[in-house]
Amino acid sequence: MKLLSLEDTLVAAQEAGVPGIEDLVSQVETLTERVAESLAQHLNISCRNTSFWDGKIYTTFLPSQPGQECPAVIDSGDPSGEWEGDGEEEGTSMSMGG
């Protein structure tokens, strides 16, 4: 038995040339975007740019207010990333497809 993550499955489908994979990736991005937006709203932060890139699905999270601390659950997902933004940018999402 082989166990693949969602992202590994998407990469395998792309590499295998599965018909319609671009649409399926777009659907996964949309769902991920909804989860990210719910998380951001719950934490009172912003998010944008959900996309499948380099075999991973990424969403950018940033402060919604100047000087806002990064929530621990976000920091633990990217401990080396910078927590920046002026807090005035409206959170948006942009699907870029695989």
* H helix and E strand count, the chain: 3, 2
Q: What is the pTM of this model?
A: 0.81
What letter does residue 37 receive in the DSSP assignment?
H
Consecutive 10-residue runs of the chain (98 residues): their mean pLDDT?
97 98 97 98 97 96 95 96 69 38
- The residues facing 68 across adjacent strands are none
